[in-house]
């Protein structure tokens, strides 16, 4: 197999972000370079103030770098106008947040459809697609539930389904398990692994080693620079049987609470 056939979800070169304040300029990112091949599963770590959120904002097209390039497919995000930026953000990046960010008035299926709504792509096909995604994350029997009728893990699974509805370059997860207990964290990590095994690219920011060791690769930031970029040693991998058990237990637990 040829190495050159690997497609890149993102190519980042010498990315810098400076915040200009009255009294000083904060160099939050000081020249960060890395590639994210399609199918990668990256954990971004680092101490407070090291630049994780700044990098995440750039990867999520929420902000522009001061210097450097960031290729999403063939497009250089660093050269885009604000309008182009918000279009690509809505259409090609899947966000998963610590606090789920679901809309309380909408059902599971409707929440999954929200990014399509923003793109003006709501049609009969999109309903079918969100139902498929709901089933994929194990919520096929809760299509009409509202977020308040769901457990934290289930809400995060809705958010993950929503993140996939636009067929994104990658899922960008910001402390996605930060609000969850250890059992539910496993449930979400098992889902991430399943999606990644199926080829989805995942980039997550986490403070927790136990979460990061499920990724394939860790990028550690320090003072706005990459300190370490390496494959995860002794990566924790769920067996197919464990994945099935975890999904089953999550289902049983939530039925008990109904
Ligand atoms: N809007 C801003 N204006 C000025 N300085 C900023 C701004 N956002 C971040 N910074 C500074 O940039 C540096 C990196 O901040 P960033 O939020 O990216 O760190 P972080 O790694 O996400 O930290 P934490 O783990 O605490 O969330 C810090 O020194 C921070 O004070
Ligand atoms: Mg942060």
Tens of pLDDT, residues 32-79: 999 999 999 999 999 999 999 999 999 999 999 999 999 998 889 999
Predicted pLDDT at 120: 84
Superfamily of domain 38-63+80-256: P-loop containing nucleotide triphosphate hydrolases (3.40.50.300)
- pLDDT of 96 higher than 70: yes
Tens of pLDDT, residues 146-173: 999 999 999 999 999 999 999 999 999 9
Confidence tier at 250 by pLDDT (50, 70, 90): confident
Q: Where are the domains of the chain?
A: 38-63+80-256
Task: Among 26, 206, 225, 226, name the best residue to mutate to test ligand 1's pocket (greatest count of ligand atoms within 8 A of Cβ).
Answer: 26
- In the chain, the percentage of residues whose pLDDT exceeds 90 is 84
Ligand 1 atom closest to 51 (CA)? 18
The residue among 18, 55, 42, 77 whose CA lies nearest residue 171 is: 42
Predicted pLDDT at 4: 57
Task: Among 27, 54, 219, name the best residue to mutate to test ligand 1's pocket (greatest count of ligand atoms within 8 A of Cβ).
Answer: 54
Ligand 1 atom 7 nearest Cα: 19
- pLDDT of 3 higher than 60: no
Q: Which residues surround ligand 2, an ion (CB under 5 A)?
A: 52-53
Predicted pLDDT at 47: 96
Query: By CB neighbour count within 10 A (0-12 exposed, 13-18 middle, 19+ buried), where does 88 fall?
Result: middle
């Amino acid at each position: 197999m040829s190495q050159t056939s690997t497609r890149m979800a993102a190519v980042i070169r010498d990315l810098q972000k400076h915040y200009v304040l009255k009294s000083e300029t904060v160099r939050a990112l000081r020249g960060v370079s890395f590639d994210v091949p399609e199918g990668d599963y990256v954990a971004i770590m680092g101490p407070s103030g090291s630049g994780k959120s700044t990098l995440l904002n750039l990867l999520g097209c929420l902000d522009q770098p001061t210097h450097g390039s960031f290729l999403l497919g063939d497009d250089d995000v660093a050269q885009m106008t604000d309008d182009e930026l918000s279009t690509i953000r809505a259409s090609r990046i899947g966000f998963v947040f610590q606090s789920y960010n679901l809309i309380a008035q909408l059902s599971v299926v409707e929440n999954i459809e929200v990014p399509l709504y923003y793109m003006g792509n709501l049609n009969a096909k999109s309903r079918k697609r969100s139902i498929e995604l709901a089933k994929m994350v194990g919520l096929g029997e809760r299509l009409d539930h509202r977020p308040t009728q769901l457990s934290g893990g289930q809400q995060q699974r809705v958010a993950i389904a929503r993140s996939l509805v636009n067929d994104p370059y990658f899922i960008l997860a910001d402390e996605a398990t930060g609000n969850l207990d250890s059992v539910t964290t496993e449930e979400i990590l098992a889902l991430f692994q399943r999606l990644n095994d199926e080829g989805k690219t995942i980039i997550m920011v986490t403070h927790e080693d136990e979460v990061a060791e499920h990724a394939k690769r860790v990028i550690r930031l320090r003072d706005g620079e990459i300190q370490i970029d390496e494959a995860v040693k002794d990566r924790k991998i769920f067996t197919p049987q464990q994945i099935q058990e975890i999904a089953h237990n999550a289902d049983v637990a939530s039925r008990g609470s109904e």
